[in-house]
Structure 1
Amino acid sequence: FITHPPLHTLIHPSFSRCPPLPPPSFHSLDIQVNDPLQPVTSDETVPAGGTVILTCRVAESDNSSLQWSNTAQQTLYFGEKRALRDNRIQLHRSTPTELSITISDVQLSDEGEYTCSIFTMPVRTARATVTVLGVPGKPQISGFEHAVKEGEKVTLTCTSTGSKPPAKLRWYKGDQLLEGGPEVVEPVEDNPTYNVSSELTLEVSASDDNTLIACAVNHPSLAPGDKRSEHALRVLYSPNVQIQPESDLPREGEKFSLRCSGNGNPEPTNYVWDKKDGELPLLAKPDGAVLNFLTLNKSDNGVYVCHADNGIGNSQGEYTLLVQDEAGNVADPTAMSTTSGMDHAVIGGVVAVIVFILLCLLIVLGRYLIRHKGTYLTHEAKGSDDAPDADTAIINAEGGHSGAEDKKEYFI
């Protein structure tokens, strides 16, 4: 073994490489844990590009120097002396019982076992394993290139590269965690990292339009939410039609309009207006999504329907128009119909009674006239029965005071 003084005199900061340390003797392997001169180290994990601190301590010092060596057994630091020209490696702390160094901008190639040694008799060593994590790239989502119709399915793919160990991918719809497909892990050629991908299949509805779908990377090198990508779904759906009046108090004699709102994706381009149980009033003029009333009248009361079509589907909405008069009274079409029906019934009943009374009067008058006509003829012929000839019968019928009295009496 090389003793402490000679080795110390050989180390110089200008050295870029030192010969590897000789293997520890059999006795050094049998050193007890409670040996105060036994170096103590700890394993470290660091993400690529980060900084790691390697610390070596002993419980007691016998003035022997501590030394750090890399995975290739090149001396990095001997006490406070840097032996390897690598500006990423710096002295962190040096005391008789501790030697700590830092390695910045850690690369995947820096992973491995580092050795701390103290040159006593025998030489004592301890090893620290440095694990370098491959930091995954920001996830990329594909599948949003085209809009999807409501009721159809869309498949999205999330991919993250350069992770070590392989990353886990998580899908979210807003804040809701979704169940995606299993990760597909592919090793990168000539690189100890992996590419990971996952698929998500969704059946979309109109309410999913503009909903954010996110893919997040879960990896020990990252804090939660560090690397996340999101995109908004674009869903095509039929219109949801609503009709908005220009005023809540449509008054007789005023202008008025109804506007049809399609609320579809895409917006409707075709609108058709009609009126339930009848035609549009002459003074109601359709103009695309707007129905204009040039002058309101109570006869305009009724239910108006707007049909909207956006190429994905056709829907309709309804609006009941009730026109107020100057006093603010509203003529309810239902009430008007009911009152009109009642009036017609009353009028019909009155007409029927009048017709019945007239028929009764005609019948009584007819019978009266028939009866009086028969009596007149009977008295007119009195005195002719006992006449010996026709001329005498006529004279007897026309003459005679009593016959005239009789006839006069019946006419009265």
Structure 2
Amino acid sequence: MGCPLLWNAFAGLILVLLSKGSSVHGAEFGHLPDNITVLEGESVTLRCRIDEEVTHKAWLNRSNILFTGTDKWSLDKRVTLVNSNNSDFSIHIEKVQVTDEGPYTCTFQANNKPRIAHVYLIVQVPARIVNISKNVSVNEGENVNLYCLAVGRPEPTVTWKDQKYGLVSEGEFLDITEIKRQQAEDYECITNNGVAPPDQRKVKVTVNYPPMITDMKNMPAHLGKTAILRCEAMAVPPASFEWYRDDHRPVESDNTLRIKNEKTRSLLLFTNVTEKHFGNYTCFASNRLGASNASMLLFRPGAIQGRGTGLHAGMSVGMCVWVSLSAVLLLKV
């Protein structure tokens, strides 16, 4: 490394010169601006052009000496000397880190006069989501609070996007007051700082609510033919279905009648309609949040006119109370 006393004295001289802010003479960062911008993880070369004979030269990062001539003072293996001749004194930094950001100085002595050139290295980091809410399940009417935390250089923006309606909310936090079932969907967090493509992740919000029967009606049926009674209910979690006859007897499958339960509806399938099948049927849909029921008729065509169905909702969890079911209507041939 040469004479330590000589280089220590030279390093002290460099620090004094830097503190006085000496002007630039005889050195330049060839074809590079005063600020050099690089992405984290990339490599960069800092070039210092020299146009006169020098006696001593050095590279500094802030107040830390990197090189004095060809002698390396830095312990960082990523920093290497590219050229050290009469016209070029350049260094190379591999896999740039955020901590590498800051001022770099090429300094040398020519004719016993100090010469200094400065460059500022800017390290950019793509925006990245580092912490985000997990998928949530809430009951209708509750409040929802989502968060999305991001990092990056420069400081990234964070935006929440409503996937269903395209609504946008700025900021790391998204608050939904008294959420409704229509607001159940995926909410997307997008962070961007213009350095790289945006980073984005989604949070699924599930809204639970009691069953609401949406499709039920009286159906005509011919003796000896097939017929179907339908009961459809919207609910989260999905509803469980039960069928009852006019005297509250549970409907059971037999060789002429089959119950088919699907995700959002239940079907009564009559394979061979007989006299005993005509009458009033009640569909009961329930989940852990409540229940709803509706009554409908299976009738012979022309036997009734203008008879509606009965619909009842809002039964509490675990209750089996029947209220105001439709009056029983028995039809005879």
Q: TM class, shorter-chain normalised?
A: 0.5 to 0.7
User: Which structure has more RCO (C-alpha within 8 Å, separation ≥ 6)?
Assistant: 2
Write the distance in 2 (CA, Å) between the matches of 1:259 and 1:99: 85
Matched, 1:216 2:187: no
Partner of 2:34: 42
CA shift for structure 1 position 163: 5.5
Q: 2:224, 2:274 within 8 Å by CA — same for their partners in 1?
A: yes
Q: What is the Cα-based RMSD across aligned positions, in Å?
A: 4.9
Partner of 1:260: 231
Write the distance in 2 (CA, Å) between the matches of 1:88 and 1:249: 85
Matched, 1:119 2:109: yes
Partner of 2:179: 204
Q: 1:66, 1:119 within 8 Å by CA — same for their partners in 2?
A: yes
> Match of 1:229, as an amino acid?
R
Write the distance in 2 (CA, Å) between the matches of 1:203 and 1:144: 18
Write the distance in 2 (CA, Å) between the matches of 1:292 and 1:151: 37
Correspondence list, 1:280-291, <5 A: 287=259, 289-291=266-268
> Match of 1:120, as an amino acid?
A
> Match of 1:236, as an amino acid?
N
Q: 1:21, 1:73 within 8 Å by CA — same for their partners in 2?
A: no
Partner of 2:321: none
> Match of 1:90, as an amino acid?
T
Write the distance in 2 (CA, Å) between the matches of 1:174 and 1:75: 52
More helix as a share of residues: 1
Write the distance in 2 (CA, Å) between the matches of 1:319 and 1:20: 97
Instruction: Go from structure 1 to structure 2 and tell me whether the alpha carbon gap of 1:126 and 1:256 turns closer, same or farther (over 3 Å shift).
Output: same
CA shift for structure 1 position 168: 3.6
1:95-145: CA deviation from partner (whole Å, max 9, x where unpaired): 764444222344444333210124323332111223445777633233745
- Pick from 213, 226, 239 the counterpart of residue 211 of structure 2: 239
- Pick from 71, 74, 79 the counterpart of residue 62 of structure 2: 71
Matched, 1:140 2:140: no
CA shift for structure 1 position 319: 7.2
Matched, 1:308 2:285: yes
Instruction: Go from structure 1 to structure 2 and tell me whether the alpha carbon gap of 1:249 and 1:199 turns closer, same or farther (over 3 Å shift).
Output: closer
- Pick from 77, 89, 104 the counterpart of residue 87 of structure 1: 77
Q: Structure 1, unaligned stretches of length 5 or more?
A: 1-8, 182-196, 324-330, 338-412
> Match of 2:240, as an amino acid?
T
Structure index of larger Rg = 1
CA shift for structure 1 position 149: 1.8
> Match of 1:216, as an amino acid?
I
> Match of 2:188, as an amino acid?
A
1:330-369: CA deviation from partner (whole Å, max 9, x where unpaired): x4556899xxxxxxxxxxxxxxxxxxxxxxxxxxxxxxxx
Write the distance in 2 (CA, Å) between the matches of 1:141 and 1:336: 56
CA shift for structure 1 position 303: 8.6
Write the distance in 2 (CA, Å) between the matches of 1:215 and 1:172: 6
2:182 aligned counterpart, secondary structure: helix
Q: 1:24, 1:124 within 8 Å by CA — same for their partners in 2?
A: no
2:80 aligned counterpart, secondary structure: strand
- Pick from 46, 52, 67 the counterpart of residue 54 of structure 1: 46
Write the distance in 2 (CA, Å) between the matches of 1:263 and 1:319: 18
Q: 1:153, 1:204 within 8 Å by CA — same for their partners in 2?
A: yes
Write the distance in 1 (CA, Å) between the matches of 2:306 and 2:155: 77
Partner of 2:328: none
> Match of 1:128, as an amino acid?
V
Instruction: Go from structure 1 to structure 2 and tell me whether the alpha carbon gap of 1:112 and 1:30 turns closer, same or farther (over 3 Å shift).
Output: closer
Write the distance in 1 (CA, Å) between the matches of 2:243 and 2:141: 26
Q: 2:127, 2:198 within 8 Å by CA — same for their partners in 1?
A: no
Write the distance in 2 (CA, Å) between the matches of 1:236 and 1:206: 7
Partner of 1:230: 202
Write the distance in 1 (CA, Å) between the matches of 2:162 and 2:282: 37
Identity %: 23
| TM-score (normalizing by structure 1) | 0.52
CA shift for structure 1 position 93: 6.0
| TM-score (normalizing by structure 2) | 0.62
> Match of 1:269, as an amino acid?
S
- Pick from 242, 253, 278 the counterpart of residue 271 of structure 1: 242
CA shift for structure 1 position 76: 2.7
1:377-407: CA deviation from partner (whole Å, max 9, x where unpaired): xxxxxxxxxxxxxxxxxxxxxxxxxxxxxxx
Q: 2:44, 2:93 within 8 Å by CA — same for their partners in 1?
A: yes
Instruction: Go from structure 1 to structure 2 and tell me whether the alpha carbon gap of 1:120 and 1:290 turns closer, same or farther (over 3 Å shift).
Output: same
